[in-house]
Amino acid sequence: MKSNSMKFISLLLFLLISMMNLAIASGGGGGSSPFIPLNPPIIVNIMDGKYIRHMQVIVEIKAADQSNTQRIEAHKGPIRHELILLLSSQDFATISSPVGKEGLRKSALAAIQKVLGEIEGDPLIDALYFTNFIIQ
């Protein structure tokens, strides 16, 4: 009985945090900022040995030039697709450390630059940041 109530509480907490993060992440990205939030948060399953965990990330990308923001916005679908494939292929043990997270950030940046390079002929972005990173 206790494990079921703990699972329920964990799930409820995860949902509340997700809703709060979505509300926070839905603002910004306009105006003169070169930072573009990829909303909604990306949620994927990852393996932890024989268990499946849930990972939620909120990502912001930095346009190389302010004039690129609309071009980047137009390709959010392929960008999200590439990130979902990359994130869902991760191993929990690897991304649990700061070094693993930094490696994942670099891989995500390279994946997005590759997608934009294939579509636009130019990577268009300088940086990628995980503004929220939750694994349950």
d(CA 72, CA 120): 9
d(CA 136, CA 126): 30
pLDDT at position 114, please? 95
Q: What is the mean pLDDT of the chain?
A: 85
Percent of the chain surpassing pLDDT 90: 66
Please tell me what DSSP assigns to residue 50: T
pLDDT at position 8, please? 65
Is CATH 2.60.40 the right assignment for the domain spanning 2-135? Answer: no
Residue 124, helix vs strand vs coil? coil
Closest residue by Cα to residue 41 from 28, 53, 29, 24: 24
Q: Could you tell me the pTM of the whole model?
A: 0.74
- Kindly state the average pLDDT of the residues 14-37: 61
**Domain ranges across the chain:** 2-135
Closest residue by Cα to residue 38 from 116, 117, 120, 118: 116
- Kindly state the average pLDDT of the residues 72-100: 95
Interacting residues of 42 by C-beta distance below 8 A, sequence separation 6+: 56, 57, 58, 59, 80, 83, 84, 87
- Kindly state the average pLDDT of the residues 88-117: 95
Residue 10, helix vs strand vs coil? helix
Judge whether residue 3 has pLDDT over 50.
yes
Judge whether residue 15 has pLDDT over 80.
no
Under the banding of pLDDT at 50, 70 and 90, the label for residue 32 is: low
Q: Is 86 exposed, middle or buried (0-12, 13-18, 19+ CB in 10 A)?
A: middle
